[in-house]
Structure 1
């Protein structure tokens, strides 16, 4: 069943741009904050590449990615890239049960892409053996069969950098705002990039290879794997679980058809309802950042349900869930689900830590609203990621409380 387009996030074909050349990697340190940002601008300011954040939120808040604008088009879904870890969550249970042949059958079913072979130039080195990083992207396309490794066909509205510790006991999911102002290297054909832009422009201009290059250039950390989630099929994943329970902090009415009312308290939601809930932003003082907070709560609820006894002990429900996941996910060629099952056998949602790349909120650059990175904090965070010392960074940088 098709999911209705998201009216508040038009996606557009990428404009051709040129500009500053890509800066080199800096000895494993993050190459963040390469451009200065201007004065603050209200969240309703001009937003040529994408809809701006609704507010200037504290560095502990979260926000999703953006589309690049020239001509307005109606998109499909591009939210919730955090849910890419669902494949890993289900494999936690499979690894614990030792059903490796069963897992291998889904290993053969899942879609594959090759984001790394097209990357030219130097890449950040791998520093800590055993630790690895997965770039999770929520993607949507007007052509479901479009290759994700090429420009122009796909858009990403959510970008998450997932760091798995060397002992495989914990994973840190770092949200990168869609409007984060970064340097995008030149695309393979030379037509786009080589300029400062909003982060998700990289995907529109050069597909997965350019997105990987841009994220590696910004963080200074090597990407080991990529998982792309097409959310047109994700509603079926939630329905296969029998729905999820989500906390609604205040009663609101959806701004999207059929204009559901979400009542304060714990709500049991099916696929359509839960995806509608985590799309809402206008009703909250921190706008896009509230939306990502709800996405994280949604991810935890889905993961808990996925590895619950009620799912793992029910062969029909488990099989339906697994089939729904593999239909909605594409991974790189080296991503081995059976190996992941073994490595993640001791992990559950309690082992996930949600973060956001340090930022200064919405600011104005050349007449458009962007999210400005917090250079000193970002340098420290990604240095900790590269050295597998994120726990120390988190202890020194507790998250800011969400606004009421």
Structure 2
């Protein structure tokens, strides 16, 4: 926009320079003459003064004088910038603190060597970010028993946890402990080198390494990590959350001391009560399948309680919960708690899908009761896991809803 200089005459006859913007509104800038009197010739001072009829506002000074310089307006843009930077710094400091705390928890996890003995060919690793975690649980009274040595650790729960590449849900496939499968002679042998037996025999014969090898041979799914859970330790985890609500489908009396009585309906359970409940199986028609179902419900209830009870937003509750959890869990050498917390932060109890490895029920082989795998259906499901298409498999094989009446 062009500018031209033109004179402006005050009442005293003095010519003062002004600037008029061509094509503009005619707004005057620069030092304009202020007449000695008011009236129609009055002009608006350029320092934030007054103009028009009616005289100066209170405190503006005597006519003919420039009003006091107004207080500078706050520079909100700069203030907002400084405040934003400060918040970012505080967030960074808090993030560093959380990161340090997570690293401490990571260091406190029990560790076991689950993979170095597996020297043979293994299933292909997922290439799209999907993760497969073999979760094994024991309700033994010896949580310090070695996971790596044969015969020192008893596995009563075997779960293949598949987390798809989206990391927003998880599929937990319970493998019956009595499932009849081929077991290699050792973790370094070929899949067909041994004999067939119950899958939990692999723990007794070769510890966690042979168990991993056996599961990979049976499923043809790559195990990325292992997580050994001491269900006795989960008593402290449950108590740290203030207990959990579990549904009891029938009145039963525990077969373990102190012989608790569980009444049909939703029961609020302490850690000791919940652990006792998930150990029961002989009082149910489906035996070990009932126990697997109760364990699944227990794990879901723990996640739901942690997410809904304010535990995640309370530093004190969160510290107690995480400390109890790390005491109850042993993981492989390559498992990083900090990485997994970031990767799986979207997971909630409602995003867990529990499935049982397809089977034809129980049978007697060589004089012992075993669970027989449904070969075709199991093969299709484990192929869905390996190809990260478990969502489609679940939709196509959704089981009928179980009656809450038991």
**TM-score, normalized by length of structure 1?**
0.72
Query: Which SS does the other structure have where 2:125 is aligned?
Result: coil
Closer, same or farther: CA 201–243 of 1 in aligned 2, 3 Å: same
Matched residue, 2:217: 217
Gaps in structure 1 of 5+ consecutive residues = 1-94
Closer, same or farther: CA 96–222 of 1 in aligned 2, 3 Å: farther
Matched residue, 2:166: 167
Query: How far 1:150 moved relative to its partner?
Result: 1.7
Query: How far 1:310 moved relative to its partner?
Result: 2.2
Q: Is the 8 A contact 2:169 2:346 kept in 1?
A: no
Closer, same or farther: CA 203–307 of 1 in aligned 2, 3 Å: same
Query: How far 1:370 moved relative to its partner?
Result: 0.5
1:270-281 to 2 correspondences below 5 Å: 270-281=270-281
Closer, same or farther: CA 181–96 of 1 in aligned 2, 3 Å: farther
Matched residue, 1:149: 148
What is the rounded CA distance, in whole Å, between the counterparts of 1:97 and 1:400 in structure 2? 47
Matched residue, 1:267: 267
Query: How far 1:313 moved relative to its partner?
Result: 2.7
Matched residue, 2:296: 296
What is the rounded CA distance, in whole Å, between the counterparts of 2:381 and 2:326 in structure 1? 32
Query: Which SS does the other structure have where 1:179 is aligned?
Result: coil
Closer, same or farther: CA 97–397 of 1 in aligned 2, 3 Å: farther
1:197-276 to 2 correspondences below 5 Å: 197-276=197-276
Matched residue, 2:282: 282
Query: How far 1:280 moved relative to its partner?
Result: 1.8
Query: How far 1:202 moved relative to its partner?
Result: 0.5
Gaps in structure 2 of 5+ consecutive residues = 1-93
More relative contact order, 1 or 2 (CA 8 Å, 6+ apart): 1
Q: Is the 8 A contact 1:142 1:154 kept in 2?
A: no
Matched residue, 1:370: 370
Matched residue, 1:331: 331
Query: How far 1:337 moved relative to its partner?
Result: 0.6
Closer, same or farther: CA 145–284 of 1 in aligned 2, 3 Å: closer
**TM-score, normalized by length of structure 2?**
0.72
Closer, same or farther: CA 150–112 of 1 in aligned 2, 3 Å: same
Q: Is the 8 A contact 2:220 2:382 kept in 1?
A: yes
Query: Which SS does the other structure have where 1:355 is aligned?
Result: strand
Q: Is the 8 A contact 1:363 1:370 kept in 2?
A: yes
Matched residue, 2:137: 138
The number of aligned residues is 308
Larger CA deviation: 142-151 vs 101-110:
142-151
Matched residue, 1:389: 389
Query: Which SS does the other structure have where 2:227 is aligned?
Result: strand
Query: Which SS does the other structure have where 1:137 is aligned?
Result: strand
Query: How far 1:142 moved relative to its partner?
Result: 6.5
Matched residue, 2:116: 117
